[in-house]
């Protein structure tokens, strides 16, 4: 029995604390927006699953349908859709992303998060 893209996506976002659907991979992003979000997560030392939507057209379209969000990248924390590049950037700079990670029990480097904000103040 084959699983649908929706089932695969649901499985990924429920079995991993943090999932980033992106173009490329965490170590080799294939677009600037994916690179920015992966860069934030990497810098803050967040453990996350990266899903390269360029490798699977069904997942690429499926994640847009699943979240009802038209663009990639898409960040999920504990099964909840957080947003794309602009939202993640805003949340990082405002400290909301730290609060979300702390509330959800996701380990991250608070000093690194502070450094991002200092650099962008």
Binding residues for [2Fe-2S] cluster: 31
Residue 13 CB-half CA count within 13 A: 20
DSSP string across 75-87: EEETTEEEE-HHH
Please report, in range form, the residues annotated as the binding site: 31
DSSP H or E segment with residue 50: strand 49-52
Inter-residue contact 91 to 100 (CB < 8 Å): yes
């Amino acid at each position: 029995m084959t699983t649908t893209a929706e089932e695969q996506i649901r499985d990924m976002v429920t079995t991993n604390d943090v999932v980033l659907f992106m173009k490329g991979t965490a170590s080799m992003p294939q677009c600037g927006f994916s690179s920015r979000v992966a860069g934030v997560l990497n810098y803050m030392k967040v453990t996350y699953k990266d899903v390269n939507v360029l490798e699977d057209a069904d997942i690429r379209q499926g994640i847009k349908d699943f979240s009802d969000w038209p663009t990639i990248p898409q960040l999920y924390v504990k099964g909840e859709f957080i947003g794309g590049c602009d939202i993640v950037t805003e949340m990082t700079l405002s400290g909301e992303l730290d609060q979300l990670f702390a509330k959800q029990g996701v380990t991250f480097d608070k000093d690194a998060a502070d450094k991002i904000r200092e650099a962008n103040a």
